[in-house]
Amino acid sequence: MLRNAGPAWVGTVARHQPEYAGEPVRDERRWRLATFVEERVKGFTWTYDFGDDWEHRIVLEDLLAPPRAGQRIRCTAGENACPPEDVGGAGGYVQFLEAIGDPRHEQYPDMIEWIGYPLDPTAFNLNETNERLAAIKS
C-alpha cells in the first residue's frame, strides 16, 4: 500500500499481493527505484514476505552524484546481514539468533544444520550490496 503524500510517499510496495490488511498494495514489478528518486520520495515500506511479515523501511536520505556513468542507485552505508529465508519473521529471527549464538541451546544443532552455512548476523558487505543494486533495472 503506497499512499501518495506528496514528495514524502509512505506506504507498502510488495510482491504479488493485491491487498494487505484491507488496503491496496502497489505491485513491486510495476515500480522502479529510479521513480522514487526522481519523485523525491523520502521513504517507503517494502514488504518482502507477507507470511513472515518482513517489512523493510527504505529511506532516501540524500541524493548524491553517481561515482561513474551508468550507476544510478547505490547504497552508501548499511548494517547487519539478511536473515535466512523462511526463518519466521522478526520473532523467528530473534529465536534463531538466540539458538545459533549459544552452542548449549537445545535448538543449536538443528538451526546450524538448517541454515547450512556460516552466518554472522552483524556482517554487512557494501560492495556486494551495490553489485546487487547494479543488477536491478532501476
Cβ contact 42:7 at 8 Å: yes
DSSP 71-85: -----S---SPPPPT
Query: Cα(24)–Cα(38) distance, rounded to whole angstroms?
Result: 23
Structural domain boundaries in the chain:
1-62+71-78+126-138, 81-122
In this prediction the pTM is 0.62
Asked if 10 and 45 count as a contact pair (C-beta separation under 8 A), the reply is yes
Let me know: does 130 contact 64? Beta carbons within 8 Å: no
- Over residues 59-71, the mean pLDDT reads 69
By DSSP bridging, strand 23-24 and strand 19-20 are: antiparallel
pLDDT tens per residue, range 121-133: 999 999 999 888 8
pLDDT in tens, 88-120: 888 999 999 999 999 999 999 999 999 998 889
